[in-house]
């Protein structure tokens, strides 16, 4: 499969999905409102735990601001990939996609990528609202943080592909996708930093592929040591987490693509692509 | 009218029951979601206060009870029911509109009101059962089972039952809007966030600015949520349980009536325009 | 190009078997499964420029066969080649060389306009941009889509969606085109337009069309050869004439004549043929109905005698064997 063909197909799919998205204007603008409301809810939810007339602790501000941003960013690959596949089945267009000689994954990724681009905008709106409500945005080493964030994106997509492959025939995908999104967000340190998690959960988090890039991102933003492998020395923890994050960023998308191709082949052998 | 309505309502309830059995994953998810929703403020709150004991102390200072995990669990459950009611009606109507079933339902039942009522009744029954199960799971997790095992829990359930009537009536209003606007998803997400804020899902409404707090008492769920906590955790009722119950019942009936009226008008307006199945 | 030359036989299928095990799958709970043998050793060869029809009752395996040949399904056993490419081992080459219209109106994006749908599907098929633009304009003009092609598909009627789906299959100018019930939901004028276009594609442009349809008259009109499927097997295959000739059926001849003296009995005696029924028609005429296995022998005798006796013949109707008769006999077991 030539990269230029993959790229061209991706652009065609992205264009199509943006045109469709533009036909839901309320949804496009409503999501900005939703991101403002989201941060308001989190701030209000934690207000009863702050003594009267006191401000929020700085590490809390850091965690909530960037945590929400990460949550919005990670939702596209985890949630949208499986849901968009289901949507194509419901629309009856999944078989049409597979009837084209173009690469199939880029055609299915179009919607998730469109959602990703929009979620960056919504995330930015979220950050701005958080900064307003919590009294400022905190970050230490932003360029390094962005690097680790970008490293995490292929990991999320790889995981999303594996999930898409596994849930290919599940009819009611919404509860599964939502639970997964929340579960991964929880265990990856998106919603809660690792140092707040019970030890048993932190051990479990080491098995979640997205945890490493998220922990390195948090570490860069907050200027603290990595929290996931907290029993190791700082230098050692950095090295191991960095190696693992890079390796997973390469391996997981590949594994996801292989899993997806195997699932499609299995579907063609069994009931067909529209089944389920 | 009753002779027509009752079979419609019962059939719709049976249909919802069959649907529920076909999507068994949802049953489990529905029990776990409120526990997961509550976990986030519990963890964050414990973190901010640097420990569970300190968190309980500060929470008691601000809210009037140390049992923050139960406080938040009740809120998370009510929020989930609000969301479920909104999504059930909003998306159900939208889905039926998209698939074309809505016209068939309308033609068979004579209107959309009775089928929606059946759907709402089933949803409300489900909510009651889910609340009990979810509260038991959450209480075991956070070591607060003694609250669930006390007789006050029954008072809490009674208040929930009254509050649910209003929730579903309110959902009819929202559902009508969805039928008109057609963009269900984003509208419902905004409503769910907005109601979460106004209802006081994770905090007492008194924490809100005066204007917002005033508005929030007009929502059917706010008083119910406040009073459920008051019954179980001995915090303050809005007035007292009797007056609050009367207000809730009036609000619930008002919302139910308003919901039906708006739905009927929307139905008529759409039929005059492009038709119910217009996607 | 291998053993199955694409220029002479664009579609070759050998002993295709496909079994389904339908069950409702959920994450936690599994339900009961059944076994459905959708294709049971199907073999066929379709020639270049042929319009080949697939007929059969619901659940016969027509759509399953189309999906195997268009690479959407992998057969359990057997081989199939489309334009010389193996459908299992070379699916992309197959897809590049065919056009497909699947049944149903939900195979296009409802939140895009007709033109946007055609553009999108043409592009992902690999049709170059400038050629695609011209092709879309040509299709719009030919099928009279100007009035709705720039509206969103969600505003279309069922027939308009079907037309758009059909047009989508023409974008790539493929030599082999699969059409799954192309005239369903269409009004007579659109249906006639599609049929004319299919005839043009096969007779003039020498493209190969594989057509599934429930309409016997359509298959009779369009198809050079037809395969009749039932429960996953081909029960009959041949030209429409061959298929019709394969079943013995009595013809019914109905003649309306002016009554000479109005008495049926005299007609009966006059005709002197067995299997005759005579009834009085509403307009004062008499209707004679005769069953015969040989119309060519009966008609001249009947006419001669009637005219000789001074009767005026107003109307003659001869029922012929139709594909529906073939279908009923071979599939339902009826006469």
pLDDT reported for residue C175: 92
- On whether residue A23 sits in a domain, the answer given is yes
Which ranges of chain C would DSSP assign to H, the alpha helix? 62-69, 91-96, 114-124, 129-143, 158-168, 188-199, 216-222, 240-245, 264-271, 295-308, 323-327
pLDDT reported for residue B99: 61
User: Which among C156, C146, C214, C201 is positioned nearest to C174, based on CA atoms?
Assistant: C201
Residue B167 predicted with pLDDT over 50: yes
Entry field: residues in chain C: 335
- On whether residue B251 sits in a domain, the answer given is yes
Residues A42-66 have pLDDT tens digits of: 889 999 999 988 888 888 888 889 9
Do C154 and B23 count as a contact with CB atoms less than 8 A apart?
Answer: no
pLDDT reported for residue A247: 96
Q: Which domains does chain C have, with CATH numbers?
A: 11-245 (3.40.50.300), 251-323 (3.30.70.120)
B89/C10: higher pLDDT: C10
- On whether residue A274 sits in a domain, the answer given is no
Q: Give the chain B residue whose CA is nearest to the CA of C28.
A: B25
Do C74 and A265 count as a contact with CB atoms less than 8 A apart?
Answer: yes
- On whether residue B10 sits in a domain, the answer given is no
Do A46 and B44 count as a contact with CB atoms less than 8 A apart?
Answer: yes
Question: How many domains is chain A partitioned into structurally?
Answer: 1
pLDDT reported for residue C3: 47
* B212 Cβ under 8 Å from any chain A Cβ: no
Cα separation, C214 vs C327, in Å, equals 11
Range of the domain at B67: 20-272
pLDDT reported for residue C330: 77
pLDDT reported for residue C2: 42
Q: What separation in angstroms does the CA of B258 have from each of B106, B170, B174, C112, C295?
A: 20, 8, 11, 37, 75
Do A30 and B55 count as a contact with CB atoms less than 8 A apart?
Answer: no
A227/C103: higher pLDDT: A227
Range of the domain at A127: 3-269
pLDDT reported for residue C1: 40
Full 3-state SS string of A157-181: HHHHHHHHHHCCCCCCHHHHHHHHH
pLDDT reported for residue A217: 94
8 A C-beta contact, residue B191 and residue A33: no
pLDDT reported for residue B14: 81
Backbone angles phi, psi at C16, to 5 degrees: -70, 130
Q: What separation in angstroms does the CA of A151 have from each of A142, A211, A245?
A: 14, 12, 7
**Candidates C21, C80, C111, partner chain A, best to mutate (most A CBs within 10 A):** C111
Q: What is the pLDDT along chain C (335 residues), one digit of tens a residue?
A: 444 555 689 999 999 999 887 665 554 555 566 788 899 999 999 999 999 999 988 888 999 999 999 999 999 999 999 999 999 999 989 999 999 998 766 788 888 999 999 999 999 888 999 999 999 999 999 999 999 999 999 889 888 999 999 999 999 999 999 999 998 888 888 899 899 999 999 999 999 999 998 888 889 899 999 999 999 999 999 998 888 877 666 777 888 888 666 555 556 565 667 677 778 777 778 888 887 777 888 888 888 888 887 888 888 988 877 777 777 777 765 43
Tokens matching residue C330: 């071979």
pLDDT reported for residue C333: 55
Pairing of strands C176-180, C98-101: parallel
Task: Name the 3-class secondary structure at C37.
Answer: strand
Per-position b or e across A55-72, b if 16+ CB within 10 A of its CB: ebeebbbbbbbbbbbbbb
CB contacts of C24 in chain B (<8 Å) are 22
pLDDT reported for residue B103: 59
Q: Residue C286: in which H helix or E strand, if any?
A: strand C285-292
User: Which among B85, B68, B203 is positioned nearest to A40, based on CA atoms?
Assistant: B203
Q: Residue B279 — pLDDT band, cuts 50, 70, 90?
A: very low
Do A96 and C152 count as a contact with CB atoms less than 8 A apart?
Answer: no
pLDDT reported for residue A205: 92
- On whether residue B219 sits in a domain, the answer given is yes
* A170 Cβ under 8 Å from any chain B Cβ: yes
Residue among C24, C28, C110 whose CB faces B279 most closely: C110
The most confident of A1-5, A169-173, A224-228, C244-248, by mean pLDDT: A224-228
pLDDT reported for residue A273: 82
8 A C-beta contact, residue C39 and residue C61: yes
- CB burial class (10 A; 0-12, 13-18, 19+) of residue B42? buried
Residue C113 DSSP label: B
* C110 Cβ under 8 Å from any chain B Cβ: yes
Residue B277 predicted with pLDDT over 60: no
Residues A63-106 have pLDDT tens digits of: 889 988 998 888 878 788 888 888 888 878 888 899 999 999 89
The dihedral formed by the CA atoms of C83, C85, C86 and C90, expressed in degrees to the nearest 10: -130
B271/A86: higher pLDDT: A86
User: Which among C56, C79, C323 is positioned nearest to C212, based on CA atoms?
Assistant: C56
Task: Name the 3-class secondary structure at B204.
Answer: coil
* A52 Cβ under 8 Å from any chain B Cβ: yes
Residues B49-85 have pLDDT tens digits of: 888 999 999 999 999 999 999 999 999 999 988 888 8
Question: How many domains is chain B partitioned into structurally?
Answer: 1
In this predicted structure, which of A28-37, A47-56, A163-172, B220-229 has the lowest mean pLDDT? A163-172
Q: Cα angle vertex C56, ends C35, C10, to 5°? A: 95
Do B25 and C26 count as a contact with CB atoms less than 8 A apart?
Answer: yes
8 A C-beta contact, residue A188 and residue A41: no
Cα separation, B44 vs C48, in Å, equals 71
Pairing of strands C208-212, C51-55: parallel
Residue among B22, B25, B279 whose CB faces C154 most closely: B279
Q: Residue A18 — pLDDT band, cuts 50, 70, 90?
A: very high
Residue with tokens 């056993």: C77
Residue A127 predicted with pLDDT over 60: yes
- Give the mean pLDDT of A241-247: 96
Residue among C29, C110, C154 whose CB faces B24 most closely: C29
CB contacts of B48 in chain A (<8 Å) are 46, 49-50, 56-57, 60
| Category of A23 on φ-ψ map: left (φ > 0), alpha (ψ -120 to 50) or beta | alpha
- Give the mean pLDDT of A123-144: 89
* A122 Cβ under 8 Å from any chain B Cβ: no
Residue A130 predicted with pLDDT over 60: yes
- CB burial class (10 A; 0-12, 13-18, 19+) of residue A5? middle
pLDDT reported for residue A155: 93
8 A C-beta contact, residue C175 and residue C205: no
To the nearest 10 degrees (0 to 180), the angle between helices B2-22 and B24-48 is 70
DSSP H helix total and E strand total for chain A: 11, 0
- On whether residue A48 sits in a domain, the answer given is yes
User: Which among B251, B39, B186 is positioned nearest to A30, based on CA atoms?
Assistant: B186
**Candidates C69, C97, C118, C123, partner chain A, best to mutate (most A CBs within 10 A):** C123
Residues B98-112 have pLDDT tens digits of: 666 665 666 665 566
Q: Residue B220 — pLDDT band, cuts 50, 70, 90?
A: confident
pLDDT reported for residue A254: 94
Residue A228 predicted with pLDDT over 70: yes
């Amino acid at each position: 499969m030539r990269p230029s063909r993959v790229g061209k197909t991706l652009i065609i799919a992205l264009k199509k999905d943006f045109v469709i998205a533009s036909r839901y204007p309320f949804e496009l603008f409503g999501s900005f409102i939703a991101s403002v409301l989201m941060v308001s809810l989190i701030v209000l939810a934690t207000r009863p735990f702050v003594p009267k007339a006191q401000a929020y602790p700085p590490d809390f501000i850091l965690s909530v601001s960037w945590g929400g941003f990460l949550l919005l960013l990670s939702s596209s690959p985890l949630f949208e990939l499986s849901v968009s596949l289901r949507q194509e089945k419901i629309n009856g267009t999944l078989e049409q996609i597979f009837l084209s000689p173009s690469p199939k994954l880029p055609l299915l990724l179009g919607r998730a990528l469109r959602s990703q681009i929009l979620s960056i905008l919504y995330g930015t709106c979220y950050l701005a609202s958080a900064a307003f409500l919590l009294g400022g945005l905190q970050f230490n080493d932003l360029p390094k943080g962005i690097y680790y964030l970008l490293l995490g994106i292929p990991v999320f997509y790889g995981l999303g592909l594996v999930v898409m492959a596994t849930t290919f025939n599940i009819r009611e995908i919404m509860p599964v996708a939502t639970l997964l999104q929340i579960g991964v967000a929880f265990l990856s340190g998106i919603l809660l930093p690792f140092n707040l998690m019970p030890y048993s959960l932190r051990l479990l988090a080491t098995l979640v592929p997205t945890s490493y890039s998220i922990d390195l991102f948090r570490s860069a933003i907050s200027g603290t040591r990595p929290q996931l492998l907290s029993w190791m020395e700082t230098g050692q923890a950095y090295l191991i987490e960095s190696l693992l994050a890079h390796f997973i960023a390469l391996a997981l998308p590949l594994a996801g693509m292989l899993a997806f191709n195997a699932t499609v082949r299995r579907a063609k052998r069994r009931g067909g692509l529209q089944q389920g | 009218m009753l002779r027509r309505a009752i079979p419609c309502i019962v059939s719709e309830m049976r249909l919802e029951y069959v649907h529920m059995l076909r999507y068994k994953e949802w049953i489990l998810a529905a029990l776990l979601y409120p526990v997961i929703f509550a976990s986030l403020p519990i963890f964050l709150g414990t973190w901010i206060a640097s420990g569970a004991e300190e968190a309980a102390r500060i929470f008691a200072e601000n809210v009037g009870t140390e049992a923050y995990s139960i406080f938040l669990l009740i809120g998370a459950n009510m929020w989930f029911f609000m969301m479920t009611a909104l999504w059930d009606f909003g998306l159900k109507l939208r889905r039926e509109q998209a698939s074309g079933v809505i016209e068939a339902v309308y033609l068979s039942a004579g209107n959309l009101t009775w089928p929606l009522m059946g759907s709402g009744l089933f949803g409300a029954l489900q909510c009651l059962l889910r609340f009990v199960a979810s509260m038991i799971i959450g209480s075991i997790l956070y070591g607060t089972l003694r609250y669930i095992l006390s007789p006050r829990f029954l008072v809490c359930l009674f208040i929930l039952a009254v509050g649910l009537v209003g929730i579903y009536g309110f959902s009819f209003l929202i559902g009508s809007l969805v039928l008109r606007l057609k963009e269900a998803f984003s509208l419902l997400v905004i409503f769910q966030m907005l109601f979460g804020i106004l209802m006081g899902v994770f905090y007492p409404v008194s924490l809100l600015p005066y204007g917002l707090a005033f508005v929030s008492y007009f929502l059917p769920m706010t008083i119910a949520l406040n009073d459920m906590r008051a019954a179980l955790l001995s915090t303050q009722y809005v007035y007292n349980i009797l007056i609050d119950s009367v207000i809730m019942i009036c609000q619930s009936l008002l919302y139910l009536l308003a919901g039906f009226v708006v739905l009927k008008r929307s139905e008529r307006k759409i039929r005059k325009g492009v038709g119910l199945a217009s996607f | 190009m291998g053993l199955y030359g694409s220029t002479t036989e664009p579609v070759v299928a050998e002993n295709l078997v496909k079994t389904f095990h339908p069950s409702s799958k959920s994450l936690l709970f599994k339900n009961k499964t059944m076994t459905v043998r959708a294709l049971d050793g199907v073999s066929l060869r379709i020639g270049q420029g042929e319009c080949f029809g697939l007929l059969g009752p619901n659940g016969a395996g027509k759509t399953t066969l189309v999906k195997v040949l268009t690479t959407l399904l992998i057969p359990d056993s057997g081989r199939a080649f489309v334009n010389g490419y193996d459908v299992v081992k070379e699916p992309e080459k197959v897809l590049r060389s065919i056009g497909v219209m699947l049944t149903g109106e939900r195979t296009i994006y409802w939140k895009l306009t007709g033109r946007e749908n055609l553009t999108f599907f043409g592009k992902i098929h690999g049709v170059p941009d400038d050629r695609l633009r011209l092709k879309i304009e040509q299709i719009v003009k030919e099928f009279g889509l100007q009035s709705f092609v720039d509206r969103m598909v969600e505003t279309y009627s069922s027939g308009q969606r079907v037309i758009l789906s059909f047009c989508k299959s023409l974008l790539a100018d493929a030599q082999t085109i699969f059409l799954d019930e192309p005239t369903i939901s269409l009004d007579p004028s659109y249906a006639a337009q599609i049929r004319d276009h299919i005839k043009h594609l096969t007779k003039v442009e020498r493209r190969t069309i594989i057509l599934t349809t429930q309409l016997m008259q359509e298959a009779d009109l369009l198809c050079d050869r037809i395969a009749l499927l039932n429960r996953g097997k081909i029960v009959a295959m041949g030209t429409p004439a061959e298929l019709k000739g394969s079943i013995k059926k009595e013809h019914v001849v109905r003649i309306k004549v002016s009554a000479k003296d109005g008495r049926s009995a005299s007609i009966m005696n006059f005709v002197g043929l067995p299997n005759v029924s005579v009834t009085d028609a509403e307009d004062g005429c008499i209707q004679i109905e005769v069953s015969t296995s040989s119309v060519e022998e009966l008609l001249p005798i009947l006419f001669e005698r009637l005219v000789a006796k001074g009767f005026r013949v107003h109307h003659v109707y001869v029922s012929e064997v139709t594909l529906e008769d073939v279908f009923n006999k071979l599939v339902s077991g009826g006469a």
